[in-house]
Amino acid sequence: MRTLIIVISVLFGCTVAMADEISGVFIDKQIQTASGNTLMLNGAGVREKFWVDVYVGSLYLAQKSADITRILSTPGPWRIQLDFVYKEVAQDKLLDSWRAGFEQNQSAEALQKLQPRIEVFYGFFDSSAIAKDQFRFDYLPGSGTQVSKNQQILGVVAGKDFSNALLEIWLGNHPADKSLKKAMLGL
């Protein structure tokens, strides 16, 4: 049906606005948080490892921005959503990835301060991530970063400093994937 609509549009010179789809994952243009805030898609892209698509990462903000400093200093809510497309990412690989992201983007002093909360975060990942799993990291001001897997809340990690450290895994000076960082920033 989609192909038919495109063919008809081309024949009649019309344009069709279709929803974004990346690596088989539908990307919402805007979302509602549990606290009722509306967030807009800032950008989305694919996390690749050795030319293999691992997950689609999406960043949602109250106002679009490509300025990392502004994103980190804004006190409002945000969401990072990871939709896994690879058949399986083992639990230890997932934890190694988070660990590297924190360590490469934080000073030793900041890491020491964050370490107890980072350990709480690691505790939420007690199994492998498989294709079609969805992780959501929702920063809720006054509450902390709510972590969900497949729409089931796993827990909350307190602090704006933790939320910024988590964002920096994808948006920091040493991101998990440079092209994913650019895509999440809408560049």
Cα gap 68→146, rounded to integer Å? 21
Residue 75 lies in a domain: yes
Structurally, how many domains does the chain consist of? 1
Structure token pair of residue 99: 């660990």
In a domain, 79, yes or no: yes
Contact 22, 46 (CB under 8 A): yes
pLDDT in tens, 33-77: 877 889 999 999 999 888 888 999 999 999 999 999 999 999 999
Q: What is the pLDDT of residues 116-165, one digit of tens each?
A: 999 999 999 999 999 999 999 999 999 999 999 999 999 999 999 999 99
Q: How confident is the model at residue 20 (pLDDT cuts 50, 70, 90)?
A: confident
Q: Is residue 157 part of a domain?
A: yes
Residue 68 structure tokens: 């990392």
* Alpha helices, H only, 22-131: 68-73, 91-105, 108-123
User: Domain of 52?
Assistant: 21-184
Q: Which amino acid is at 29?
A: K
15 lies in a domain? no
User: How far apart, in Å, do the first and last CA atoms of the chain sit?
Assistant: 31
pLDDT at 181: 96
User: What is the pLDDT, as a whole number, of residue 13?
Assistant: 35
Q: Are 114 and 102 in contact (CB under 8 A)?
A: yes
Matching residue, tokens 């900041």:
110
**Radius of gyration (C-alpha) of the chain in whole angstroms:** 17
148 found inside a domain: yes
For the stretch 76-123, pLDDT in tens is 999 999 999 999 999 999 999 999 999 999 999 999 999 999 999 999
Q: Give a yes or no: residue 4 inside a domain.
A: no
Q: What is the pTM of this model?
A: 0.86
Distance CA 108, CA 110 (A): 6
* CATH number for 169: 3.50.70.10
In a domain, 5, yes or no: no
pLDDT of residue 51: 83
- Say what the pLDDT of residue 17 is: 33
Residue 121 lies in a domain: yes
pLDDT of 16: 32
The pLDDT value given to residue 3: 43
